[in-house]
Amino acid sequence: QDYTIRTQVTEGLNLAAEAKASIGDFWAARGRIPPNNTSAGLSLAASITGNYVTGVAIANGGVTITYGNKVNATVAGQTLGLTPRTNAARGLVWICGAATAPTDTTAISGITAGATTIAGKYVPADCRP
């Protein structure tokens, strides 16, 4: 069952790819992170959905994926967060869930980490500490 749930959680990461790309474009053009979906040129969070995802939201620079619809009841209503940091070249590096940030990255001032409420055993390995 854990594997099935992890597969469902992965759908959210796939749906969040567009948000990450839009944030990257915004960062490259303006040198800052967009505060929300609209600023990033994305649809509203509730419009970015899938079989297992009810929304992908940008809030204060972090991305939060909310799970629902046909997802396993164990993770229904829970979230997985993605948080941008910068590397030495000022490129964005994404930290998934509770993963440890690489030591060669720096937090971006004013960025709020994407919220993660899903238990570690249900997220992909690169989203765990």
- Tens of pLDDT, residue by residue over 37-51, are 999 999 999 999 999
User: For residue 72, what pLDDT is reported?
Assistant: 97
User: Which range marks the domain in which residue 11 is found?
Assistant: 2-120
Model confidence band, residue 15 (pLDDT cutoffs 50, 70, 90) = very high
Q: Where are the beta strands (DSSP E) in the chain?
A: 53-59, 62-67, 79-86, 92-96, 106-107
Residue 129 in domain: no
Give the pLDDT confidence of 16-66 residue by residue, as tens digits: 999 999 999 999 999 999 999 999 999 999 999 999 999 999 998 899 999
CA-closest candidate to residue 82, choices 92, 67, 96, 61: 96
Give the pLDDT confidence of 106-123 residue by residue, as tens digits: 999 988 788 899 999 999
Residue 127 in domain: no
Q: Please count the structural domains in the chain.
A: 1
pTM of the model: 0.95
% the chain with pLDDT above 70: 100
Which CATH number characterizes residue 86's domain? 3.30.700.10
Average pLDDT of 1-9?
94
Residue 126 in domain: no
Residue 67 in domain: yes
User: For residue 113, what pLDDT is reported?
Assistant: 83
Residue 72 in domain: yes
Residue 59 in domain: yes
CA 82 → CA 19, 44, 73, 126, distances in Å?
A: 10, 17, 22, 11
User: For residue 115, what pLDDT is reported?
Assistant: 87
Residue 82 in domain: yes
User: For residue 112, what pLDDT is reported?
Assistant: 79
